[in-house]
Amino acid sequence: MKSGYLSEYFQGVAVKRLSAVEADGTRSRQHEYHATKSMQLFLGCPNEKTRLPARFLYLTDDDPDPIVEDAFLTLYNCRKDKPRAPEYHLYFPTTNVSMNACEGDLLVIAKKRDGSLLVIIAENESSISRQIEWLFGFSDVVHPGFSVKSELETEQDRIEFASRFILENIGIVVETKEDTYLDDMLSRFSGRFPTTREFSAYARSTLTDLSPHDDPDLILMAWMEREEILFRTLERFLIADRLSQGFSNKIKTDVDVDGFLSFSLSVQNRRKSRVGLALENHLEVLFAENGIRCARTAVTENKSRPDFLFPGVVEYHAQTFDPLRLTMLGVKSTCKDRWRQVLVEADKIEQKHLLTLETAISVHQTDEMMAKRLQLVLPRSLHQTYTSAQQSWIMDVASFTELVRAKQSL
């Protein structure tokens, strides 16, 4: 088992598309998946029925939170009392997850290091379905049987920035830390979380050998990666420190449940909001360092506030300024269906741009973006998660900066 790879969390994984019989309980009462020989390499071949604890998840692009239910899969040899070669099946119970499953949805059965199973069903043709396929190194899963991987230490299986976010979507917490900077952060920030601008600036200051002029795509991802690691390092320490103090009611002697819930909610909210703000912070500096003028969250029509407006708000509202020289950029660390929000910002600009860090957005969604005249922009290292046709259309950060620079030089 190698640190920093999927093998650190999983012993093996199998994926397939759900058949009508597997997805529709009205067509079969068996509730079973066929455990192929290659799956048995990590599931085992027990002589007796074996109940395996499992966490079931149903994922869709429409809901940021998955449907989750703890249950089990039962592994057994359906030919135990017959003079034939063993054939293993996995029985699954009725759950909220199975009740939402449809024919064609992606099914993933992964064995975790603690011996339990993670059973993921992702909506067919969704972005999250494609992201799960990419995470585990599968593509175009169409044949009826399981595709299986029990060796998860190839270069594809290395856990990096993009894969960490997908893993956390399925409940796998990836511990990343850089204790070298912990004492400095505690001293500099007085043992608390600074503002996002302060923290982004600090993260950039620890990468003194990088110049914003060299490679915008590489620089942006390096800054984001460093801030993510430093944030998790500081967060882990501060959370541990707060938990060590306990949550007891100062008036009563009982446990302060409300205090604990409030603290837990603040941790979750900070995680959700921080990444998007960090991305905007780093882009703002990247543009400035490359001599590109812009306004951040400037007000346009109907009180809309596009994340970035080029060259600025004065030019945007000037009647004599050529609209073709204007550019707007929406910024969303993850898209889901929220990308449509960008369409109603900056009415004077017909061709809109959206920068995101989301991997493997579905073809259906990118086709709709093209139809709506929304150009997707991603750091170059994330392009590989998309199809060849999508990659030919997606713009990288360097190309976007050159586009804006060219407009401003007119």
Amino acid (1-letter code) at residue 397: V
Name every residue whose Cβ is closer than 8 Å to that of residue 63 and which is 6 or more positions away in sequence: none
Q: Residue 28 contacts by C-beta under 8 Å, 6 or more apart in sequence?
A: 21, 22
Our CA angle for 50, 56, 59, nearest 5°, is 155
For residue 85, the model assigns a pLDDT of 78
Contacts of 386 (CB under 8 A, 6+ apart): 359, 360, 361, 366, 394
CA dihedral 47, 51, 54, 59 (to 10 degrees): 80
Residues found in the chain: 410
Cα–Cα distances in angstroms (integers) from residue 369 to residues 61, 274, 393, 399, in the given order = 15, 26, 11, 18
Is 58 one of the catalytic residues? no
Task: Tell me which of 33, 202, 316, 386 is the catalytic residue.
Answer: 316
Q: What is the pLDDT along the chain (410 residues), one digit of tens a residue?
A: 677 889 999 999 999 999 988 887 655 556 899 998 999 989 999 988 999 999 999 999 988 789 999 999 999 988 776 777 788 999 999 999 999 999 999 999 999 999 999 999 999 999 999 999 999 988 777 677 899 998 888 877 888 888 988 998 899 988 788 889 999 999 999 999 999 999 999 999 999 998 888 899 999 999 999 999 999 999 999 988 888 887 776 665 677 777 777 767 777 777 778 999 999 999 999 999 999 999 999 999 989 999 999 999 999 999 999 999 999 999 999 887 789 999 999 999 999 999 999 999 999 999 999 999 999 999 999 999 999 999 999 999 999 999 999 999 87
Q: Please give the pLDDT value at position 247.
A: 75
Has this prediction a pTM greater than 0.95? no
User: How many angstroms separate the CA atoms of 229 and 214, rounded?
Assistant: 23
pLDDT score for 120: 97
